[in-house]
Structure 1
């Protein structure tokens, strides 16, 4: 099918441009429902993380993306729906009565894994390694405490695709997977988000911290 051919092309292109390496440092790529959460510095982040997963895991890992961007245009809609099988969220809150997390709840209830970026937006500040996490990942974890959260640090992609540049620069990118976490039964939102943030920072190259 067309979407399969496009998916293979995206994966091959990501590997060719970035020299992508996947480092499973704190876990192994096993078939288990998970939320892969990562730092967010480039538009290509979710593509690289998605492409770095083994085929069996990639099949059920759905990137979370903004409907305001990916829902526009035939090509974008085809890519996010058919190739990436993404979960679109309404970042603009066009329907105030609808919980913007609902599509993610539905995906988890269906047994899918998620790829998401808890910072909520791209971090373009080289002096700040992580922006404060949004609370959505906490609510997802409380609703589905059996789902593991795996921190993933994406290194170098911002330099491969610098802001304002049309062509990528050939640099090695590393996708590092850390040890899974789960939410504590009585853990506060603040403590949980801080623990997730610290687990992610521990995967960053030391010179970046």
Structure 2
């Protein structure tokens, strides 16, 4: 099923990967990218080489991706996604599932905006990326820019439209010693936006 989906995704989007700032490498990473469509996690997954797909888990909004049995099955069985609650319930840290995945050695795909945007520029990044960078300094932080995916599956639409898409991966970021949250998140957001020009 994963090979069928990979072929379908590449037919619809092209799913071109451009490794401009770092090579594809089997090391533990946090890929972080702009977020404009529910297709983002699918396109990011498809852009990775096979050896990286097997060790990389995308973050998926639990309320959306478990809304139907098919969505739940595909995100569980094919993408091995990490579900996150967008609505806070109780005392559980929303980062807990991501922390568990990183602790077990997985790489993850993260969308630091937290929710989909409607504009060319990403919304301000939320603090999750900063908190994970602090907790896992050994994990490589790789920015990425997803191009054109919002035209494949515009917000509110259910039928994808074939459009050539790409994912550009940039140079890794490192959290500076003593760097505050605001400065780091602004720098991370800028690193993602800078990839639009490449």
TM-score bucket (shorter structure): over 0.9
Query: Which structure 2 residue ranges, 5 or more long, are not aligned?
Result: none
Mapped to 2, the partners of 1:163 and 1:189 lie a distance apart of 30
TM-superposed CA distance for 1:74, in Å, is: 2.1
For residues 14-56 of structure 1, give each alpha carbon's deviation from its aligned partner in whole angstroms, at most 9, with x where no partner exists: 1001122110000000101000001011110010000110111
Mapped to 2, the partners of 1:48 and 1:161 lie a distance apart of 11
| Of 102, 118, 121, the match for 2:115 | 121
| 1:82 counterpart residue number | 77
Compare CA radii of gyration and give the structure with the larger one.
1
Q: Is the 8 A contact 1:39 1:154 kept in 2?
A: yes
The normalised TM-score by structure 1 is: 0.90
| 2:166 counterpart residue number | 174
| Of 16, 21, 33, the match for 1:26 | 21
| 1:73 counterpart residue number | 68
Question: How many pairs are equivalent?
Answer: 198
The normalised TM-score by structure 2 is: 0.95
Query: Which structure 1 residue ranges, 5 or more long, are not aligned?
Result: 1-5
| 2:186 counterpart residue number | 194
Mapped to 2, the partners of 1:163 and 1:76 lie a distance apart of 17
| RMSD, aligned CA | 1.4
1:112 paired with 2:116, answer no
| 2:130 counterpart residue number | 138
Mapped to 2, the partners of 1:64 and 1:164 lie a distance apart of 20
1:64 paired with 2:59, answer yes
TM-superposed CA distance for 1:101, in Å, is: 0.5
Q: 1:75 to 1:169 in 2, by over 3 A?
A: closer
Q: 1:91 to 1:164 in 2, by over 3 A?
A: closer
TM-superposed CA distance for 1:71, in Å, is: 2.7
